Chain A
Amino acid sequence: MSQPSAQAPPLVELRNITKAFPNVLANDDIDLTLRAGEIHCLLGENGAGKSTLIGILCGLVKPDRGLIRIDGVETPIPSPRRALELGIGTVHQHSTLIPALTVLENLMLGDSRSLRLDQRSARSRLAELSAQLGVEIDPESKAADLALGHQQQVEIVKALWRGSRLLILDEPTSMLTPQGVAELAKVLGRLKESGQAVIFITHKLHEALSLGDAISILRQGRLVGEIDAAELTTRSHSELRGEIVRIMFGEEARTVGGVAELREDLAEPRSTRRVDEDAEVVLELQGLTVAGEGSERGIADVSFVLHQGEILGIAGMDGSGQRALAEAIAGQRRASHGHVFLYGGEVTRLTVSRRQKLGLRYVTDDRLGEGTVGVLPVSLNLFLKRVGEHPYWRHGRIQRTVIDGRATELVREFDVRTPFVTTRVSTLSGGNIQKVLLARELSFEPKVVVFHKPTYGLDVKTTASVRELIRQLAESGGAAVVISTDLDELLELCDRIAVLSRGQLVGTTTNGPDAAERVGELMIAETKTAAA
């Protein structure tokens, strides 16, 4: 950690940055100082204003007030192009690589300075940057064939391509295996040595503490806490952790204590419930094969059993066939081969509503696109999977008072914050929309529930309550399949974790102290053999 001399102006300074969007003050008078050779962690919940701040730095968002100084000189950043010229490179949360192109082609794509494609100098630039980062990147492999961690390395190279001085990483670890995170940490170390300034956005506390040289905490658009390099070296991590949690959540701190990201010791096995091996098999998949749709991958020959009281996690990177698997179990998509059994009875050919009635439920990840109909009120959205059913419909005629009455109970039970049950569901916040979905799927005797990315995009508090609901389901005699790309979530919730890769289940492991490593190995092994 190199302490910069007091005289030299910091690389980038943000002063009094304020940005308001309709109904929300996204950034409220934020000051931030970024120094060369320093990893600056930005912590905050969803909606705390991190994305807006980053948007301002990469020229995508124009602040209402405040100024940006680079090397002590006031420098507006009116466009993404200007940001690149100033040496500000960004690695976004989701891959921006074009899967069908090679690594080299992807890298040259971002460089439009000359019309001619100069392969030779691109190759040498790539060699130079990989040496600097201490990574090995094959210029000729297709982006689609790279493991997620390697894709990210290419993204970092791409951000550094035109000579970056400030590198912004937006939640870079959210989809990495533990091995991938360790490798990223090494790369960041090399970047630091070469004098890069890095902004590292995360909501995982332990990462911020172990990687960061300085930590800034955002809450509801305001900068509510700063921990500088000196404090990070002198004070113990557990002490700092407690303080950060208090700063991030204020008086809510006690209720969010259960969330994995905030746990004291991440190596500790989190699932202490043991599922009886002899417990009844409630869901069984036998050689299930489902065709993909469009560019989306299908699944091939997937088999597993789920016992009563069990939570089975399905890990894997995005696009491994998760959607096909979930939809085939729910009955939304037809299986071309194989069988689905519920309590020993075959349901392979049953419709969505028949399965729903049997207690087989599906909480979709596409909450706005398919999980709700935005123009309909909350009450009707709670009953969209029982359209036409007694007593909510009688002789095909809707019974509004019955529906509204039952909906009011559900809204109370699942703590959906809505002004009225007749409010359009599209006006609710993301967390409340997810609660509407949960209320629908977890009411009326749920037995086996498939959760697809159940906490994706939710704030910490809602995340905690969603996970609690999943646990309750398992404890009360139900069973759950949790499909998630967030490994920490699976480690916190599940009894067993299966790894889905390229549409196939490549292995299953019981959750325990070294489960993270084993899942990581399964994911890596599979990509290696596939690439070979």
Chain B
Amino acid sequence: MSTESATGRGVAATQPGRMRSLRAERLLDIAIRSIGPVLLALGAGALLLLALGRDPVTFYRAVWNGGVASGAWQDSAISMAPFLLIAAGLTVIFRANIWNLGYNGQFLLGAALVSGYAPSLVTHVPLWLAFVLLFLLSGAVAGAWTLVPAVLKARFGTNEIITTLMMSFIGIDVASILIKGPFHDPTTPLPQTAVVPFDKMLPAIPGTRIHSGLLVAFAAVIVVHYVLTRTSWGLRLQIMGANPKAARHFGVSVSRLIVVSFFVSGFLVGLAATADIMGLWGYIRTGWNPAYGDTIIPFVFLARLNALAVVPFIAFFAVLYTGGDLAAQQVNLSTDFLYVLVGLILLFMTVIEYFGRKRDLGASYLSPGLRQSLLSGFGRRKANE
């Protein structure tokens, strides 16, 4: 600990020049940390394709053609809606340094209820009201599904990674039971719900094929970003995320905040279910589990838990997701190759994080607690780092 003289003379003086260069430096760090892993993963993916005897140029061009060119961007935009809503939900809870890994169960449970009630609801109440009710229903159900892990964590400090995962498995099975049981469409032997008529689905944004669920998603992202960065609630969440002990010192009611942030996270995941079912599919079948959350988690971290910054990453992934299907077929590969790319992004993100820590490239993606659990796999580091 050196003495104060080293830390600078001008007390809180405004030194715009130094400030600006600091800011530029930080932006560069952020760029390296955020975009670096994506570029490296695309590069490594290309090498992998070469090794498999495929032409990477053909593959990436096919991704572009299938995900962006000649109106295909609209398909990508449609797939963005659930991605963005789940990303917003995860951003909230990760900011609190809590792992909500039960998004699959929360999403499917919401989707099952929406698919079950939507066919009758859209015929009995005004359509706009039906949409509002369905969004609220799926949000509330998914939010409620987080309450068991939330209360266990708030009251007994139970590790939420395990409880949310377990609740997720239960949720997936409950959704399946609902689809086969009360919500089963009697007109078909297939285990699925009745299909919502096409004209009763979420309306398209004028002039496009994109359903208005995307607007809901953007609105949610903006609200989440505002709440997290500008309000006292967001600050309390950040304090708790940084250090629960400090939160208690500053008079934050930690247990209540845990429960509320869990519910908000689940609620946003639930909104994704309505956007996806009412915007795209119109029904649900057992065994269907798109696991959107699993694929977008890396992007939530690449966006450094910033709800707005997640948008370009999700857009990028939506293109890959939409165009990748066709591209994989063109080069005669399984569509699972997309998950290899996502895995590579995660890998490079961790590698850059690791070396970044060593060189201390400014801020990290992760709050200290999350970072520690993520990096503990590298072993051999001092406990106090």
Q: Decide yes or no whether B182 CB sits under 8 A from chain A.
A: no
Number of interface residues of B (CB under 8 A): 35
Query: How distant is the Cα of A393 from the Cα of B10 in the complex, in angstroms?
Result: 28
Query: How distant is the Cα of A47 from the Cα of B1 in the complex, in angstroms?
Result: 5
Contacts of B14 on A, CB cut-off 8 Å? 420
Query: How distant is the Cα of A46 from the Cα of B14 in the complex, in angstroms?
Result: 31
Query: How distant is the Cα of A84 from the Cα of B161 in the complex, in angstroms?
Result: 45
- Stretch of A191-199, A429-437, A488-496 on the interface side: A429-437
Whether B7 pairs with A387 at a CB distance below 8 angstroms is: no
CB contact under 8 A between A419 and B242, given known A352-B249, A396-B231: no
Number of interface residues of A (CB under 8 A): 49
CB distance from B11 to the nearest CB of A (A): 6
Query: How distant is the Cα of A417 from the Cα of B246 in the complex, in angstroms?
Result: 23
Whether B4 pairs with A375 at a CB distance below 8 angstroms is: no
CB contact under 8 A between A352 and B11, given known A47-B3, A370-B246: no
CB distance from A526 to the nearest CB of B (A): 30
Q: Decide yes or no whether B8 CB sits under 8 A from chain A.
A: yes
A binding-site residues for B, Cβ under 8 Å: 23-24, 46-47, 220, 330-332, 351-353, 356, 362, 364, 366, 369-376, 380, 384-385, 387-388, 393, 396-398, 407-408, 411-412, 415-421, 428-432, 459
CB distance from A193 to the nearest CB of B (A): 38
- Stretch of B233-241, B283-291, B317-325 on the interface side: B233-241
CB contact under 8 A between A419 and B10, given known A369-B246, A384-B239, A398-B232: yes
Contacts of A330 on B, CB cut-off 8 Å? 249
Query: How distant is the Cα of A431 from the Cα of B249 in the complex, in angstroms?
Result: 20
Contacts of B249 on A, CB cut-off 8 Å? 330, 332, 352, 362, 364, 370-371
Contacts of A366 on B, CB cut-off 8 Å? 245
Most buried by B among A387, A388, A431: A387
Known: A330-B249, A411-B12. 17 other contacts (CB 8 A): A23-B2, A332-B251, A352-B249, A371-B249, A375-B367, A376-B238, A376-B242, A387-B232, A387-B235, A388-B236, A396-B233, A397-B230, A407-B12, A415-B11, A419-B18, A420-B19, A432-B7
CB distance from A456 to the nearest CB of B (A): 13
CB distance from B111 to the nearest CB of A (A): 33
Query: How distant is the Cα of A212 from the Cα of B215 in the complex, in angstroms?
Result: 77
CB distance from B152 to the nearest CB of A (A): 20
CB distance from A28 to the nearest CB of B (A): 13
Whether B246 pairs with A430 at a CB distance below 8 angstroms is: no
Mask of B339-377 contacts with A, CB within 8 angstroms, 1/0: 000000000000000000000000100011000000000
CB distance from B251 to the nearest CB of A (A): 3
Whether B251 pairs with A385 at a CB distance below 8 angstroms is: yes
List which B1-27 residues lie within 8 A (CB) of chain A: 1-4, 7-8, 10-15, 18-19
Q: Decide yes or no whether B250 CB sits under 8 A from chain A.
A: yes
Contacts of B252 on A, CB cut-off 8 Å? 387
Q: Decide yes or no whether B248 CB sits under 8 A from chain A.
A: yes
Whether A369 pairs with B11 at a CB distance below 8 angstroms is: no
Query: How distant is the Cα of A81 from the Cα of B252 in the complex, in angstroms?
Result: 47
CB distance from A53 to the nearest CB of B (A): 16
Whether A396 pairs with B232 at a CB distance below 8 angstroms is: yes
Whether A420 pairs with B12 at a CB distance below 8 angstroms is: yes
CB distance from B272 to the nearest CB of A (A): 26
Closest 3 CB pairs of A and B: A352-B251, A388-B232, A370-B249
Interface of A, helix, strand, loop or mixed by DSSP: loop
Q: Decide yes or no whether B243 CB sits under 8 A from chain A.
A: yes
In chain B, what residue has the closest Cβ to A399? Answer: B230
Whether B1 pairs with A387 at a CB distance below 8 angstroms is: no
In chain B, what residue has the closest Cβ to A429? Answer: B1
Contacts of A372 on B, CB cut-off 8 Å? 246
CB distance from A477 to the nearest CB of B (A): 25
Query: How distant is the Cα of A430 from the Cα of B7 in the complex, in angstroms?
Result: 12
CB distance from A61 to the nearest CB of B (A): 14
Contacts of A431 on B, CB cut-off 8 Å? 4
Query: How distant is the Cα of A388 from the Cα of B227 in the complex, in angstroms?
Result: 13
Contacts of B18 on A, CB cut-off 8 Å? 419
In chain A, what residue has the closest Cβ to B232? Answer: A388
List which B232-274 residues lie within 8 A (CB) of chain A: 232-233, 235-236, 238-239, 242-243, 245-246, 248-253
Most buried by A among B8, B11, B249, B368: B249
Whether A417 pairs with B233 at a CB distance below 8 angstroms is: no
Among A396, A398, A419, the residue within 8 A (CB) of B7 is A419
In chain A, what residue has the closest Cβ to B235? Answer: A387
Query: How distant is the Cα of A376 from the Cα of B253 in the complex, in angstroms?
Result: 19
Contacts of B250 on A, CB cut-off 8 Å? 352-353, 384-385, 387
